[in-house]
Structures are given as C-alpha cells and as structure tokens.
Chain A
Amino acid sequence: MRRQKTAPYLFALPYFLIFLAFSVFPILFSGFISLNDWKGYNEPTFIGLQNYIEVFGDPRFYKALGNTLLLMVMIIPFQLVLGFLLALFLNSKYMKLKKTFRLLNFLPYLTTPIALGVIFALLFDPAFGTVNQVLEWFGINAINWTKEVWPARALVSMVTVWRYTGYTAVLFMAGITNINTDIYEASEIDGASSWQRTFRITLPLLKPVTTFVVLSTMIGCFQIFEEPFMIFNVAGKLVGGPNNSVLTGIWLFYDTAFSNQFRNGYAAAIAVCLFAVIAVISFVANKLMSGKEDG
C-alpha cells in the first residue's frame, strides 16, 4: 500500500529533477542576474531595477518586439492554413504512399539550423540565388531578399512557415484521427459533400487542436531566433538583418549577452521582459479563444 502511494512520485521524480535543474533554476537565476551589472567574467554588482529601466527606454527592445509581432502576423495564418490543408491531404482516403508523404512532410522540421542558413542564403542570394533567377524567367524583377527590410521579413516568414508547417500538420492529423468516423459516415448518408464535411465537421471539431496550435505557434514566434540568425549570419553577418528588420527578441537577447558587450545582466532583464510579454499575450489569446469556444 505504501509502495503504491510512493511509486507515482518516484516515476514523476526524474522529470521534476530535470525540470528543477534546467527550467526553474535558470529562470530564477535569470531573475537574479537581471538585477545585477554582470558581464559573466566579472563579479556581479547589484544595481536594482536599473537594467529594467534601461530596457523600457531601449528603442532596440521595442524594435525587436515589433518585429516579432509582425513576423507573427506574417507566419501564423499561413502556417495554420497550410498545416491544415496538408493534414487533410495526408489523411485523405484517396491518398497513396501516405507514409512516404508524411515522412517528407516532416523533414523540414528536422533540418539543422546551419544547413538552413547556408541553403536559404544560397537560394535567396539577391545577385546569384536560384529564386531570383526563376523570378526573372517569369519577367519579375529580382528581389533584394537579404538586403531590404520587407523582403528580409518575407524571407524569414517563408523559411519559418516552410520549417514548421509539417509539424503543424502532424498536430492537425492527430486531431483529425480523433474525430469519430461515425460522424463522417452519417454525413455521407445525409448527402454532405466533402467541402461541407470539412467545414461543418472537421474544422469545428478541431477547435481545441486549433487553439493549441495557435497558442504554441504564437509562443514559438516569440522565440524566433535560429531562422533569421542563421540566414543573416551567412548572408553578410548582418545582426538583426537589414536595418534591424528581423531583429527578434531572442536575437536581441543573444546579441546583448554573447556577441555585443557580454552584458549578461541586461540581457537577463530583456529575457524577463520578453517572458512577461509572452505570458500576457498568451493568456489574453487563450482567454479570447476559450471564450469563443465556450460561446
């Protein structure tokens, strides 16, 4: 009896040990160092809220936050729609070689960031890239993908959508699989078309999955770093992209902590502020979406 009581805790212990060591402690430590002037190699000096005051007056922070929100708007709708369509396609009973396509669909998610940077910098090189060559075949002027503000944002959005759509599709596929097939059979008997089944049955019943996908993609967008960093690290080592147009919150944090002036205390304050923003926006979005669902 006693063993039965303790066993669940023992089973859960590994996770909580790891969670404490690699999540809780770093979060608390970040909070602590955000109150200090600390470059990592010197002794921390307690400066109270000075770092936070500086963050709130730092135009780069607002720029990074604005960029992140813009990228979010440019990414989420496409990722959601494409992911849903892919899921429908890969779940279709008319689909052949389902397993092969499901694997192919997931491959971009497995691409290493370094490969991603090199490949996309090559493809989208304004002067020599394949993409511009193809555009020119169709009579479209070459686009300065890595040198101008909006093309740079479009590039980062496209790469991010390409990388994560497969993952989103997997989530939708899991949701679709959970929908009771009796409902589809009944609707078929009632003469519903495939469009009607998609919009009247699949989509409404996927609402919890959609809510999760939207929230997790939003949080993911707040953490965008690898895609712009790797692309622009290869394409001219331009921190933040052209005119800081793709400087995201995490990139600003990384630059401040590791490559700019090693201001770890200030970088920690940026991280805490980002955490607060993500938490608030996620909370509000969750409330809004749950509210709609309840309604």
Chain B
Amino acid sequence: MKISKKVLALMLACLLVFGALVGCADNGGASSAAGTPPAGSVAAGGDVDDSLVNTELSGEITQWVWGDYEIRGAVDFNKYYPNIKVNYVSVPSDEYEQKILTALATGTDLPDVVNIESAARGQFNNMDVWERLDAAPYNLDTSKVLPIGIPLMSNEKGEIVCVQVDNCVAGYAYDRELAIKYFGTDDPAEMEKIFSDLDSFVEKSKAVGEAGEDYMFASVDDAYSAVSGLYQKDPVVVDGKLNTDKSVLPTYEFIEKLVANKAVGPYVEWTPAWYTSFASNNIIFYRAPAWFISFMMKPNDPDSVGKWGMMTPPGGGFNAGGTAYAIPKGAKEENKELAWAYIQWLTLSQEGAESFYNAHATSTLYAPAYDTDLYKGEPDPFFKEQNVTEKLNEIAADPRTTASIMTAYDFVMKNANAQALRDLEAGMSAQQAYAKFKTEVLAAATDLSE
C-alpha cells in the first residue's frame, strides 16, 4: 500500500511536469490559435477556366491570420490551385507582431505567409527577414501594381519585400445633412469645389465651431489622419536625419487652427466613445478608405440610410492602412513557391481581385483589374446611392494621390505624435508641439539626428 501511494505520487509529479511543459509549448507556438480558430482550409469548387487551373503545384502552406478576413478574401484560391492546401492559423491581431518576432528570435517555425499590417510595415519591411519579391525566383512585375502600392511594399533600399493586398486609398466621407447645414450643398462635386484646399477647411470650420453643436472632425487624431497623408510626400527620415518640417509641422498648424476654431470633437480615436461618433450626427468629416467604410462606419452607424457622401480630399488622396503579405526567408524552402503562388494569385491576378472584391467590396492593387468592369461598383444606399467604389478608384487614379514612404522609425514617430496631438488638443501651439515631437523622437531613436 505504501509503495502504491509513492508510485501514485510520482505519477502525479510526472503529470504535473508534463502538463506544464505541454502548456508552455502551446503558449509558445502560434499554432495554439488562442480564441476561436478559423476553418482549417479552403475547399475547392465552382466552375473556372481550365487554362487557369494549376494542378502541378501541390503541398500545404500555413498563414497566420487575424480572423476570417484573409480566408474569405481568398475563398476561390483552391478553384485555381486545387492541390495547395492553405492552413489558416488564427493569431490575435494585438499579439501578431510579437509572435512573429518571438518566432524569429527563437528560430521556431514561421508561417509560410505572414501578414504585415500598415502600422508595423515600416519596421517589418526593413528587418531583412523577408524574401525579396521583385528578384528571382519571384520576379514580381511592378507594372501590374498600382503605383501607389510600390512604396507600401518596399524597404528603404527600394526592394519589394511584401505585397499589399487591399487598396486603401482614402477619400473624405462627409455627413450630408451637416454639409447642407454649414456649406449649403451635399453634392460631392460641389463639396470638392468648396474644399479645394486645406485653408478652406480652416475657413469653413469657423462657422461650425461658432454654432457649438457639431465638429469638422471627431478628434485631433481624426484631423491628423485626414491631413497628414496629404502633406507627407517625402520620406520622414533622410540620411539618418528627421525630415518632417514639411509634413508633420504643417499638419500640426492645420490642427492648431481647427482647435482654435473649436471645430474638433472630443472623441479620441479608437476609444469606445469614438466608435459611437459615427451615429452621433455631429461629425462632418472622416477620412475613409474602403476598409474604414466596411469595418467602422457601417457597423457603428447601422441605421443610417443616405446619410453619407464621399469626396476627393483637396490635393488628391493618400493611403490609409492596409495589409500586406510576405514570405519569411526562414520559411520552409519547399513551401516558398507555393506561398508565392498563393500571394500572386490573390494580389496579382484578375481572379484574385474578383475573389477579394466579392468578399470585402475592396479592390486589390492589381492594376489591370481597373481596366475591366470588375470595379464598376454600384449605388450604395448608405451613401445616398453614390457609387463609392467608383469614387475611391477615381481618387486612386488621381495622379496627385500618393502613399507615404514607410520607415523603421514609424512606431517611434507614432508614439511621439500621439502625445503631440493631446498637447494640440489642450491648446499648445503647433510650433511647441512640433518641437516636443522632435525631442521625443530623437530621445527614443538615438541613431537619428535633427
């Protein structure tokens, strides 16, 4: 009896160790897919042009995904590549970059396809851990990508290391009722004439502020998001020096004037209160790429019909957000060709563009698709029957529309900017806020100089 007790205790002890180790292995690897795991793989089916079907490539690849966005976007992939199975592993978006870094640091298995979200793109693109896609064996044809996409996919050497999936060119969504109230019209063409430059925003904001009921933008953050892309035409870092005098400073000056006119709302961007601002009927403008309409405006203002309009920002559009796919250098060699087939199909083919557009009402950056009827769009009741797809693509085709060049210092600047915006909101001058911004950036990025 004594022996059996000891054996039992020993077994329990072993079980404890085993349990702990198994638990740790699960936590360490992204394959644990905490939360709700998505479907395992996409099934083939449906009629397709046989000449486009590739049965030679076969195998299994893995992509870490945030949810079902990626899966739904590529739902037709297996119709064209029936022998490539894509295993989607769910990784929470707020842990995604950290898990990639952990996998890189520890040398554990990386997925074959990695998502790089726009906020992390500047740093991730410059990490020298991704396959170069515009060189052999991938040979990405840049002429097939909308020009605005190239800076979003490149590292500081100009090498393409990822492919952005979605076209995130932003227009200005505006509240039609408030537009009539303050500007006398809700017609997009008329609005574009009234707001032909940013000075006109400042001028018109006086009446909005004086009324004391409504705001031009929901917050200083929204004002920044709406304007920074218009000013940011040059890289923010050149030869190790900050180059923000012509981008960040004028953006702050614009915000300073709006704050002085009391035309900026108190909804801090991405806070729970901010999500309610869409239905509050007191905010006139939001900068709005396609994803913003699908994931922010419509879900948070579900009862509105005909409330919104879409116009071109003064000076053309700009990129706002987006997700890119990359192939890690450390991925399994035999899977890289399959991963590239998957990425290429989704982002650089008409079929991928159709699949993605049908799932998300968002265009990819595949240029030839814009010469077809795919993106002709249709009247949207949410926008008073305005064809928003057509409008956004018109903005994307505007030669003035640009995308900011991403740098490894984007996170540092984002952090310093968040504080500067709070200071501007509290009444600090643009010059002071900008000086503080630079000090913060230089303190955090010690290898930069003024």
Query: Are these two chains actual partners, yes or no?
Result: yes
Q: Enumerate B96-130 residues with CB–CB distance to A below 8 Å.
A: 97-98, 101-102, 104-105, 123, 127-129
Known A14-B17, A147-B426, A236-B422; judge A127-B411 contact (CB<8 A): no
From B14, which residue of chain A is reached at the shortest CB distance?
A: A14
| A127→B418 contact, CB < 8 A | no
Taking CB atoms, residues of chain A closer than 8 Å to B128 are: 41-42
From B16, which residue of chain A is reached at the shortest CB distance?
A: A14
Complex Cα distance A244/B270, Å? 20
Complex Cα distance A147/B421, Å? 10
- Asked if A200 lies at the interface with its beta carbon under 8 angstroms from chain B, I say no
Please encode chain A, from 256 to 271, with 1 for each CB lying within 8 Å of some chain B CB and 0 for all others. Answer: 0011111010000000
| B269→A236 contact, CB < 8 A | yes
Q: Enumerate A206-245 residues with CB–CB distance to B below 8 Å.
A: 234-240, 242-244
Instruction: Point out the residue from A54, A234, A255 that lies within 8 Å of B271, measured CB to CB.
Output: A234
Report the minimum CB–CB distance from A94 to chain B (whole Å): 41
Please encode chain B, from 1 to 35, with 1 for each CB lying within 8 Å of some chain A CB and 0 for all others. Answer: 00000100110011011001000100000000000
Taking CB atoms, residues of chain B closer than 8 Å to A243 are: 419
B268, B422, B426: which has the most chain A beta carbons within 10 Å? B268
| B443→A261 contact, CB < 8 A | no
Taking CB atoms, residues of chain A closer than 8 Å to B9 are: 11
Interface range for A: 35 or more
- Asked if A165 lies at the interface with its beta carbon under 8 angstroms from chain B, I say no
| B105→A40 contact, CB < 8 A | yes
- Asked if B146 lies at the interface with its beta carbon under 8 angstroms from chain A, I say no
From B330, which residue of chain A is reached at the shortest CB distance?
A: A41
Taking CB atoms, residues of chain B closer than 8 Å to A128 are: 266-267, 273, 276
> What are 22 A-B contacts with C-beta separation under 8 Å?
A11-B13, A14-B13, A40-B104, A41-B104, A41-B127, A60-B443, A60-B444, A125-B271, A128-B276, A234-B270, A235-B271, A236-B418, A236-B422, A237-B414, A238-B419, A239-B415, A242-B419, A242-B422, A255-B415, A258-B101, A259-B97, A259-B411
Q: Enumerate A94-131 residues with CB–CB distance to B below 8 Å.
A: 118, 121-122, 125-129
Interface of A is mostly: helix
Complex Cα distance A114/B9, Å? 38
Report the minimum CB–CB distance from A239 to chain B (whole Å): 4
Instruction: Point out the residue from A18, A122, A262 that lies within 8 Å of B20, measured CB to CB.
Output: A18
Taking CB atoms, residues of chain A closer than 8 Å to B102 are: 40
- Asked if B435 lies at the interface with its beta carbon under 8 angstroms from chain A, I say no
Taking CB atoms, residues of chain A closer than 8 Å to B238 are: none
Taking CB atoms, residues of chain B closer than 8 Å to A259 are: 97, 411
Complex Cα distance A146/B274, Å? 14
| B446→A3 contact, CB < 8 A | no
Taking CB atoms, residues of chain B closer than 8 Å to A234 are: 270-272
| B13→A10 contact, CB < 8 A | yes
Taking CB atoms, residues of chain A closer than 8 Å to B419 are: 238, 242-244
Complex Cα distance A63/B127, Å? 30
